[in-house]
């Protein structure tokens, strides 16, 4: 089984893109980044693609008459790179239901909360306002609704008494950089399957480690 070809979609700094590129640079990692796409030509993350020698392209919504035309260009670029899996990494544009269905079970996203808690924006401020004891991140399979879909990996971090939105965000970001490559590995090695909108682990030992009773815990 060859390495899984990834397209990573970004809009900004690309820190999770860098984490995936770093993981894929290991010859033993079962995936490679075949293409980086930004919907923002000023995205700092494009520099990471250049540093790692990965093709990067810009497809901006404003260059197209409507969303279907924009998504058609996106689809064409991704298919031309023989991509197996699309990874959304700070891609700040909601994909249409049609696009998601064309790539059903082949788009994943990382969100900075323990979904289904706090979907959408301002997750850290909302977590602090709610008084939760744990926060974290979720890698999930994308569905048409925002921040919805089967959960692949979650990583939990403690919420400290003196946390601000910024300090909590920094701690969660460290967790994201561990969780995203793990999720890609699980898919690339076919250690998980999606049944009735739930991710099930093929290997019982993995189920014990990453299943409902356990999440990654990052200090």
DSSP 47-95: HHHHHTT--EEE--GGGSSSHHHHHHHHHHHHHHTT-SEEEESS--SPP
- Beta-carbon contacts of residue 216 (< 8 Å; ≥ 6 apart): 153, 154, 155, 156, 175, 178, 179, 182, 210
Which residues partner with 157 through β-bridges? 135
Is 177 noted as a catalytic residue in this protein? no
Question: Given the structure tokens 């946390």, which residue do they identify?
Answer: 163
Element (H, E) at 164: none
Residue among 13, 18, 20, 19 nearest 5 (CA): 20
Q: Which of 111, 124, 140, 177 is catalytic?
A: 111
Distances (CA, A) of 132 to 85, 92, 120: 33, 26, 17
72-75 own/partner pairs: CB under 8 Å, 24+ apart: 74/9, 74/37, 74/99, 75/99, 75/102
Catalytic residues: 111
């Amino acid at each position: 089984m060859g390495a899984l070809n990834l397209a990573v979609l970004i809009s900004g700094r690309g820190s999770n893109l860098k984490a995936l590129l770093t993981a894929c640079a290991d010859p033993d990692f079962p995936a490679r980044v075949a293409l980086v796409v930004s919907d923002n030509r000023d995205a700092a993350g494009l520099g990471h693609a250049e540093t790692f020698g990965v093709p990067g392209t810009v497809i901006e919504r404003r260059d197209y008459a409507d969303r279907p035309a924009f998504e058609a260009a996106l689809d064409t670029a991704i298919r031309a790179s023989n991509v197996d899996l699309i990874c959304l990494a700070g891609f700040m544009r909601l994909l249409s239901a049609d696009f998601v269905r064309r790539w059903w079970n082949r788009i994943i996203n990382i969100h900075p909360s323990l979904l289904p808690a706090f979907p959408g924006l301002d997750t850290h401020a909302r977590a602090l306002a709610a008084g939760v004891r744990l926060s974290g991140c979720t890698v999930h399979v994308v569905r048409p609704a925002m921040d919805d879909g089967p959960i692949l990996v979650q990583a939990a971090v403690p919420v400290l008494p003196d946390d601000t939105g910024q300090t909590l965000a920094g701690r969660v970001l460290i967790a994201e950089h561990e969780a995203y490559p793990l999720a890609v590995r699980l898919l690339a090695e076919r250690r998980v399957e999606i049944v009735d909108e739930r991710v099930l682990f093929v290997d019982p030992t993995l189920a014990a480690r990453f299943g409902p009773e356990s999440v990654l815990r990052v200090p």
